[in-house]
Amino acid sequence: MNTGDTAFVLIASAMVFIMTPGLAFFYGGMVRRKNVINTMLSSFFICGLATALWIAVGYSLSFTGDFHGIIGSLKNCFLMNINTDPNPAYSSTIPETSFVLFQMMFSLITCAIITGSVMGRMKFSALFLFIVFWLFLVYYPLAHMVWGEGGFLKMIGSLDFAGGNVVHISSGIAGLTACLVVGKRRGHGMLSYNPHNIPFVLLGAALLWFGWIGFNAGSALGANELACHAFITTSTSAAVAMLSWMFIEKVRRGKVTLLGSATGAVLGLVAITPGAGFVPIWSSFLIGLFVSPICYLAIGHIKRRFQYDDALDAFGCHGVGGIYGGIVTGLFATKTINPDIMYNGLFFGDYKLILVQIFSIIVSILLSGVMTFIILKVMSVCRPIRVSEKNEDNGLDVSEHGESAYPSFLGLD
């Protein structure tokens, strides 16, 4: 066991944790005043719920045992039989308990991303129950398939360094499905939903970028060369994607916005996540450069064309960005960066990886989309999942929580 690696993973775990409160600020700044508390709490409560479930059953189902490559077992519920010894299936230099903590933080941020798609109209109690079911039916199985010992996507050579499939595609597709099932906000297509606090958005984006370094570099599970490489590719992709989005805004609108710049940086972080520890540094320039126009098209045109109400663009950013990131990993991954991979990318002469990546993306889309649809449809039969029209008009802060973020504000919203 290596104390340096252990300290590094513990610090990275804390950095990933701060991403979920960071997302609360990022999302909270983009909604209207009357929904800011509900929006921020919808991210923050997951820090409690997902943590408790992870320790109780989530880690065991994701990373211990194997059932046909799809899900783990219950033999380590409540971390029974897990101690400070390393688990050689994942790392021989850190205690398994530190691996438990690091992976736990991924489940937090994944669930929080979904909530952005249904802001302003979903009951908080319904959202709470949905997250519980979604963790069991989507996140834990997918984490096992992609990262767990014996997981079938891992066994066929699928690459996902830090969560392209497990975190971003799963949450983005879940968000799209949820917004379609729950329905549009009142006045969607007729009203303008302007962000109420753009400085909140910047604060959230800064915390996300900071935490993402732990997210990707920490996935090396040690203070080593691979962690340094993932740190560089992550920051490079984010920087170039931000500049790319700024360029698009300047050309199309004549002005560069803070909201757009923050969004571009997040897109670069999403896109590099699957390949941060597999692709060359030069490719991270290309990955960041092209993710912004692709997601700009998804957010600005495809969303408008099909009129779905993905309130805070969880699908447009994380779903589309994650799919793109998984595909380009299949293009640029190379054994010279990470010798543990099964195939080189298409750019380096092997076509097998790109086929495996596309297959794993399809599996992730189907699992998350179908299960999200089933969960919400069953829940809607049992109880309403959407607030009343009156409560939606009044805002979910007061109707769902009895609080107001700005009690002295008397203007219309």
pLDDT digits (tens, 9 = 90+) for 340-362: 999 999 999 999 999 999 999 99
Domains and CATH numbers, the chain: 3-399 (1.10.3430.10)
Q: Residue 411 has what pLDDT?
A: 64
Residues 6 or more apart whose CB falls under 8 angstroms from that of 94 comprise 1, 2, 5, 6, 9, 86, 221, 222
Cα(394)–Cα(402) distance, integer angstroms:
11
Q: Residue 189 has what pLDDT?
A: 74
| Summary mean pLDDT of the chain | 96
Strand, coil or helix: what is 183? Answer: coil
Q: Residue 192 has what pLDDT?
A: 76
Are the C-beta atoms of 169 and 362 separated by less than 8 Å?
no
- All residue ranges of the chain with pLDDT < 70 are 410-413
Q: Residue 412 has what pLDDT?
A: 59
Whole-prediction pTM = 0.97
Q: Mind listing the pLDDT tens digit for each residue in 195-212?
A: 999 999 999 999 999 999
The full DSSP string for 216-275 is HHGGG-SSSHHHHHHHHHHHHHHHHHHHHHHHHHHHHHSS--HHHHHHHHHHHHHHHGGG
